[in-house]
């Protein structure tokens, strides 16, 4: 099938395709999503199929307003307060659903569902024109880094979906924070741009424990158990307190060349003045954690375009605030592996 690229002024064409049951990728402030109307079972199943996603991993229901949520979940004071503070924005809220209001293929058979109002005028208009929420996992092949540009989506899903609404690169770059309000205390199931300190003044202390899900355990967010974000090369995380240049020089004595390097501008500047700079292939994370969050997935994808790179050294950061979300994704990309001297 031909995958059409739509500009924001062509939203009504994209909405028409969605209403016909086709799949259309949409932009958000975090990553691109893979959209289908929430009430069409065949379309929702096609989303799993296009991504190669396990069918027990539920989808986020994207809405154009808080009001749209209350067709599927009972009104909830904490949820309303969070929506008021952070929507539209990178916060996904899990709520118990009204029985039978959503297809089991949307919820993975759970009695809860994830709701999100993305901060993208184009996508809010798309949902409004479609007239019904759209499900939207990240629009990548399952297991690969999430897409932060329409080109990334095309790379993974071109030919498999009807369209992509292109509104340029995403701004946050990491997927939304997922907060579970179906449990007490509320729990962050996936860290993101909005952190526990942002949420606490509104709903009180939240659970933030990041635990690793065992094979026989039912995870709180089913997506947590799967391999994620992994490029073909092995990623090794260099801890923030380690000397990055020394790590690269040491790794060059062990690994195949070129060695992949995913690092901040300052670290790259130091490396470029070192003797072995011609034996490395670099991708910049920019100047700070904000740019690093924006660029992480594009960087991981960059090395997939250079299959001669077998090992990537990637810059670690302090695990607080946005750094917690960055490290959560990077740890998964690395399969938990850190650079060792």
- The residues that touch Mg ion, with contacts defined as CB under 5 A, are 138
Q: Sheet containing 177-180: which strands, arranged edge to edge?
A: 4-6, 163-165, 24-26, 33-37, 134-135, 60-62, 112-116, 91-96, 177-180, 187-190
> Smallest distance, Å, CB 93 to ligand TXA?
10
> In this structure, is the dihedral angle defined by the CA atoms of residues 328, 329, 332 and 334, taken in order, positive or negative?
negative
| Neighbouring-strand partners of residue 281 | 260
Q: Which is nearer to ligand TXA, 92 or 328 (CB)?
A: 92
With CB under 6 A as the contact rule, which of the stretches 29-37, 76-84, 203-211, 274-282 interacts with ligand TXA? Answer: 29-37
- 27 near ligand TXA, judged by CB under 6 A: no
> Smallest distance, Å, CB 118 to ligand TXA?
6
Q: Which is nearer to ligand TXA, 190 or 332 (CB)?
A: 190
Maximum CA extent, the chain: 64
Distances (CA, A) of 18 to 8, 25, 52, 82: 15, 10, 20, 29
Q: Which is nearer to ligand TXA, 133 or 258 (CB)?
A: 133
| Contact predicate 244/267, CB 8 Å | yes
- 58 near ligand TXA, judged by CB under 6 A: yes
- 95 near ligand TXA, judged by CB under 6 A: no
Name residues contacting ligand TXA, limited to 133-172 (CB under 6 A): 136-138
Residue 237: partners with Cβ closer than 8 Å, 6 or more residues away: 314, 315, 316, 327, 330, 331, 334, 337, 338, 339
Which has the closest alpha carbon to 239: 258, 259, 263, 209?
263
> Smallest distance, Å, CB 108 to Mg ion?
14
- 73 near ligand TXA, judged by CB under 6 A: no
- 178 near ligand TXA, judged by CB under 6 A: yes
Cα-trace Rg, the chain:
20
With CB under 6 A as the contact rule, which of the stretches 2-10, 11-19, 78-86, 114-122 interacts with ligand TXA? Answer: 114-122
| Contact predicate 313/262, CB 8 Å | yes
- 251 near ligand TXA, judged by CB under 6 A: no
Q: Which is nearer to ligand TXA, 108 or 158 (CB)?
A: 108
- 124 near ligand TXA, judged by CB under 6 A: no
Which spans of this chain sit near ligand TXA (rule: CB under 6 A)?
28, 30-31, 33, 57-60, 92, 94, 107, 110, 112-114, 116, 118, 136-138, 175-176, 178, 189-190, 220-223
């Amino acid at each position: 099938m031909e995958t059409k690229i739509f500009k924001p002024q062509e939203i009504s064409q994209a909405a028409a395709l969605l209403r016909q049951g086709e799949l259309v990728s949409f932009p958000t402030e975090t990553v691109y999503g893979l959209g289908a109307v929430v009430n069409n079972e065949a379309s929702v199943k096609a989303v799993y199929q296009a991504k190669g996603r396990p069918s027990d991993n539920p989808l986020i229901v994207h809405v154009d307003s808080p009001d749209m949520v209350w067709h599927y979940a009972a009104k909830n004071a904490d949820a309303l307060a969070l929506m008021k503070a952070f929507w539209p924005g990178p916060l996904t809220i899990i709520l118990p659903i009204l029985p039978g209001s959503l297809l089991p293929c949307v919820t993975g058979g759970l009695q809860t569902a994830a709701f999100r109002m993305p901060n993208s005028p184009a996508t809010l208009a798309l949902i409004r024109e479609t007239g019904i929420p759209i499900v939207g996992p990240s629009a990548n092949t399952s297991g690969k880094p999430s897409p932060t540009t329409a080109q990334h989506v095309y790379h993974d899903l071109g030919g498999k979906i009807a369209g992509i609404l292109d509104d340029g690169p995403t701004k946050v770059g990491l997927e939304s924070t997922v907060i579970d309000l179906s449990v007490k205390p509320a729990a962050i199931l996936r860290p993101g741009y909005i952190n526990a300190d942002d949420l606490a003044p509104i709903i009180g202390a939240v659970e933030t424990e990041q635990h690793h899900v065992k094979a026989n355990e039912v995870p709180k967010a089913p997506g947590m158990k799967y391999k994620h974000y992994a490029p073909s090369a092995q990623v090794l995380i260099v801890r923030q307190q380690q000397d990055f240049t020394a790590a690269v020089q040491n790794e060059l004595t062990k690994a195949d060349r070129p060695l992949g390097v995913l690092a901040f501008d300052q670290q790259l500047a130091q490396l470029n003045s070192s003797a072995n700079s011609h034996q490395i292939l670099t991708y910049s994370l920019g100047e700070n954690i904000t740019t690093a969050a924006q660029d992480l997935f594009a960087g991981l994808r960059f090395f997939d375009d250079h299959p001669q790179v077998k090992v990537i050294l990637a810059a670690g950061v302090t695990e607080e605030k946005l750094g917690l979300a960055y490290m959560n994704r990077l740890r998964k990309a690395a399969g938990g592996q850190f650079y060792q001297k």
